Structure formats: structure tokens, C-alpha cells
Amino acid sequence: MLLWALQQPTVHKQNSLVLQNSQTLPFDACGHHLTILQSPSSMSTPGVTGAVMWDSGIVLAKFLEHSVDSQSLVLQGKRVVELGSGCGLVGCIAAILGADVILTDLPDRLRLLKKNLEVNFEGGNLRGSARASELTWGDELDNEFIEPLPDFILGSDVIYSEDAVNDLLDTLKQLSGSHTTIFLSGELRNDVVLECFLEAALKDFVVGHVDQTQWHPDYCSQRVAMFVLVKKSQEMLEVQRVQLL
Ligand SMILES: C[S@@+](CC[C@H](N)C(=O)[O-])C[C@H]1O[C@@H](n2cnc3c(N)ncnc32)[C@H](O)[C@@H]1O
């Protein structure tokens, strides 16, 4: 894959922006000091992810801060759904930047997520709002997520399992309207999974690569890629269907 070849991820150190062995990850952004609680011991439990932060979460959080600072993105008053929030840093930053955010994850991941919202926002120090809610990819969505549809969908390191690709895309399709922009950041650790996701995503979404020149200059990593997706309109899907005949 071209991206893989260009970035040569394996030459670079993984997780250079995080502290995965620590119970807490201190993080400064948007003039706020956050303390992200982690659960390193859960990482040994088979099937459990999201108990500690990964570089792609830091990159996406800092990308949001940088984009708002440079006025290329407005989050104030926008409706945001974060998928696979894990510890919740990305959603927390979106809320500090003024968005009304629903941070989501699997049922057994919500305890740590809610704790992180409590610890960081008990003084109400955010311009928007943040709450945690259960959302399992592929399931039919509750009204709270789709009425109205979000302006932005965020996800960091959510493309890591080939088995989950279809369910993740199903949720992205259900959540996306014509005004919805999706930002996904991911670890370049498995090009097969990433290719499988991109190939399937291209059927329903226009997919762009967010170049590192647009990221926060101090928070770049050759092991991370970022994508922006917008759902194809009915007209585009019709043209695509005709071309395939
Ligand atoms: C690798 S972690 C990334 C966590 C966080 N976004 C970050 O960057 O640190 C993947 C996250 O996706 C969640 N996840 C995995 N499969 C899921 C599913 N089928 N439905 C909802 N969330 C899922 C996991 O529980 C976990 O929190």
C-alpha cells in the first residue's frame, strides 16, 4: 500500500506520545490540564482494548485543537459522536472545544470512560458538553445518536480488526447525514485491516487522507494515519451504480 510505503511505520517507534504502563496520562490541551485514567492491567485480558491511550488518540485530539486554533474547523455548538472512545481523550477535547459530545463504547468499557469524564469535568470546565453512552457497532442505533444526526463522527484506533470492519462501517453509515464529517485516525500496524476498511468504505463514502502538514506540528507520528470521510450522496451512488453495469 502506498501510504504504508511512504510512511515506513515500522522504522519509527510505536507509542512515543503515550505512557501505557501508567495508571494516569497527564495531557495539556486548549489551556486545560487533563488527567486521563488508564487501566494497564486490563490489557492482558483477551479481547479488551481501549484501557490505555494509543498515539492515534493523541494525534487526533491535538489535530482538533490545532484545527480549531487555526480556524480551519469549528466545533462550537456542533454535535459530535465519538466511536470506540476507550479512555475518552478525543471526545473530552472536542467538548472542551465547544462541541456537544456523546462518547461511546462497548458496555464493559463505560466505567473507565465515565470515570474520566467525572475526574476531568467535575468543575464543569468545558465549553460544550460530554456524556458517555453505550454504542456497539453494527447494532441498530438509539434515537439519542441520530436525532439529529451528528455534525462530526470521531474515532481513534478503531480500525484494527478485520472482523469488525463491516459493523463499524454499518454504524458510520447509520450515523452519517449529508452534513456529517468523519475523522478517523489509526495506528499503521496492520495494512491488511486498513486496506480492507478503505476498500469497503469507498463503496459508500468519499475518503480523503489528512496529510501530516495539517496536524498539530508537535504531535505527528509516522505510525499514525488520518482519514476524513463523507457519505456519498444518492446522485453519486447512482452514477457509481450505472458505471458498474
Ligand atoms: C484500540 S481501542 C482505541 C480506544 C481509543 N479510541 C483510543 O484511541 O485510545 C478500540 C476501542 O474500540 C472499542 N470497540 C471495539 N469493538 C467495538 C464494537 N464492536 N463496538 C463498539 N466499540 C468497540 C473498544 O472497546 C476500544 O475502546
84 ligand 1 Cβ < 6 A: yes
Give the residue, out of 20, 38, 49, with the most ligand 1 atoms within 8 A of its beta carbon, to mutate for a pocket test.
Answer: 49
Per-residue pLDDT of the chain (245 residues; tens, 9 = 90+): 656 666 777 766 677 788 888 899 999 999 899 999 998 888 778 777 878 899 999 999 999 999 999 999 999 999 999 999 999 999 999 999 999 999 999 999 999 999 999 999 987 768 899 999 999 999 999 999 999 999 999 999 999 899 999 999 999 999 999 999 999 999 888 889 999 999 999 999 999 999 999 999 999 999 999 999 999 988 888 888 888 77
223 ligand 1 Cβ < 6 A: no
Q: Give dist(CA 199, CA 190) in Å, integer.
A: 15
Give the residue, out of 34, 39, 103, 158, with the most ligand 1 atoms within 8 A of its beta carbon, to mutate for a pocket test.
Answer: 158
* H-run or E-run covering 27: strand 24-29
Contact 94, 75 (CB under 8 A): yes
Domain residue ranges in the chain: 2-244
- Measure Cα distances from 63 to 42, 59, 184 in Å: 28, 6, 11
What is the per-residue DSSP string for 188-201? Answer: SS-HHHHHHHHHHH
Architecture in CATH for domain 2-244: 3-Layer(aba) Sandwich (3.40)
| Pairing label, strands 224-231, 152-156 | unpaired
The type of residue at 174 is Q
Q: Give dist(CA 123, CA 35) in Å, integer.
A: 14
Q: Give dist(CA 56, CA 190) in Å, integer.
A: 14
- Measure Cα distances from 75 to 58, 151, 161 in Å: 18, 9, 30
**pLDDT number for residue 6:** 64
Q: Give dist(CA 89, CA 116) in Å, integer.
A: 8
pTM of the model: 0.94
Degrees, nearest 5: CA angle 139-142-148: 120
- Cα 165 to ligand 1 centroid, rounded to whole Å: 12
